[in-house]
Amino acid sequence: MKIHTKAVHAGDRKKAQSQIPVATPVHFAASWITEDTAELDRIFGDEQKGFSYSRYDNPTNAALEELMTSLESGAGALACASGMAALEHALKAALLDRRKSVVCARDIYGATIKLLMDVLGPFGIETAFVDTNDLAAVAQALDEHKPGALLMETISNPLLRVGALDEIAKLCRARSAALIVDNTFASPLLMRPLELGAHLVVHSTTKYLGGHGDTLGGLVISDEEHLATVRRLSRVAGPVLGPMEAFLTMRGVKTFALRMERQCHNARALAAWLRAHPRVAAVYYPDDPAHPDAAVVRRLLPEGLYGGMVSFEIAGLERTGIFAFLDRLKLIVKATSLGDVHTMVLHPWISSHRDVPMKQKERMGIKENLVRLSVGIEAVEDIISDLEQALA
Ligand SMILES: Cc1ncc(COP(=O)(O)O)c(C=O)c1O
């Protein structure tokens, strides 16, 4: 079944009674009554499927988890309260029976770096950063640090690098390291990391999957090997999503493939327009034949679908010039997120990558005049008009 079809059918319409709601209801219950205590005993013991307590499982969350398991070709999933909660949970599940160290892609979301350094670091989890676009460097880092897990993004935030996930999966598997992939930027329309050999996939569903800027959430989609650990740890640690958010996310997911296609087409048109603009010094978008990862892009991304994010540098502008440019935008929403139906702009230097140490920002290639656009579903001419007047 194609992903567009799965997105509108999977997870919903459980045959628990003769009238079946077309959409999964929001189950606002902290716990369930089971008349037969022997049955409750089987549910607690995982011998029978059923619901007992919402920290363990909730029917609305279960529907979303089933949907995302289907879209990402996983064995199962866990809906979490945010993308960061999902990342932390995936790392804990991967490292539980492995060495407590991580090799992390150098090009990655700023808060992910902080999660590793400031949250997990003090608990003894060591992190080494590597350029995941250099396979020899990845192999060397794996051999040197012998990490329990390697963490990377499919399309990196904010410079849109695309690593050879399939090759990296082979390197990890040969060394028994778990490969955890944040697939937020690509979405399962563009890439399905579990099909390429990853062990755990993470999403911030706050972005493309939710898509409407109205709900925070995250998901861990697991392979067979890690699923029991993902679910077991969550029962105790309780990083779970609320049922209302699960409902909203699921509603968003139904249209994500359509939105994503439109966003990819708009982003491609915008990247071409920006490249031709005299005030634009550099454009980062994976359709560029001169993109440093062009060969990987051709191999791993579907033809014509290179994501809805475009980053660019404005020539000759420092901090205050960038601020003035941002303040001139009228249609494009200045807000700290991405993947929504409306086009959004962000200044990585002061927001998503604000706390990344200066040296690391330099190594990543993030400059003060870099602007990151999350392209929406509007008519692309209107987005261009807004950029044109703000760049003038
Ligand atoms: C690539 C990526 N992963 C994870 C996250 C974290 O998601 P959340 O804000 O839902 O915790 C973000 C947030 O911007 C992100 O861009």
**CB-CB contact of 183 with 204 (8 Å):** no
**What integer pLDDT is reported at residue 14 of this predicted model?**
84
Per-residue burial over 174-205, b if 16 or more Cβ lie within 10 Å, else e, is eeebbbbbbbbbbbbbbbbbbebbbbbbbbbb
Rounded Cα distance between 268 and 90, Å, is 32
Q: Which residues of 103-112 are buried (b: 16+ CB within 10 A; e: fewer)?
A: bbbbbbbbbb
User: What pLDDT, in 10s, does the model give residues 110-123?
Assistant: 999 999 999 999 99
Q: Which of 207, 344, 351 to mutate to test the pocket of ligand 1 (most atoms within 8 A of CB)?
A: 207
Angle between helix axes 380-391 and 319-328 (nearest 10 degrees) is 140
The pLDDT value recorded for residue 353 is 87
* 200-245 tens-digit pLDDT: 999 999 999 999 999 999 999 999 999 999 999 999 999 999 999 9
256-280 pLDDT, tens digit each: 999 999 999 999 999 999 999 999 9
Q: Please report the sign of the dihedral spanned by the C-alpha atoms of residue 325, residue 331, residue 337, residue 339.
A: negative
More confident: 355 or 125: 125
Return the pLDDT at 218.
98
82, 116, 184, 191: which to mutate for ligand 1, most atoms within 8 A of CB? 184
Please check whether residue 381 is in contact with residue 350, taking contact to mean a CB–CB distance below 8 angstroms. no
**Chain center to CA of 267:** 18
Question: What is the model's pLDDT at position 301?
Answer: 98
Pocket, ligand 1, Cβ cutoff 6 A: 82-84, 109, 111, 153, 157, 182, 184-185, 204, 206, 216, 218
Residue whose entry in the numeric block shows the structure tokens 């060591």? 126
Confidence of residue 151 (pLDDT cuts 50, 70, 90): very high
The CATH code of the domain at 256-391 is 3.90.1150.10
Instruction: State yes or no: pLDDT of 317 exceeds 90.
Output: no
pLDDT (average), residues 25-50: 94
Specify whether the CB–CB gap between 219 and 86 falls below 8 A: yes
Residue 271, pLDDT score: 98
For residue 304, name the pLDDT band (cuts at 50, 70, 90). very high
Question: Average pLDDT of 69-80?
Answer: 98
The CATH fold assigned to 3-253 is Aspartate Aminotransferase; domain 2 (3.40.640)
Residues of the chain with CATH 3.90.1150.10: 256-391
Sequence ranges of the chain with CATH classification 3.40.640.10: 3-253
Task: Show which residues are catalytic.
Answer: 55, 109, 182, 207
Give residue 357's pLDDT band: very low, low, confident or very high (50, 70, 90): confident
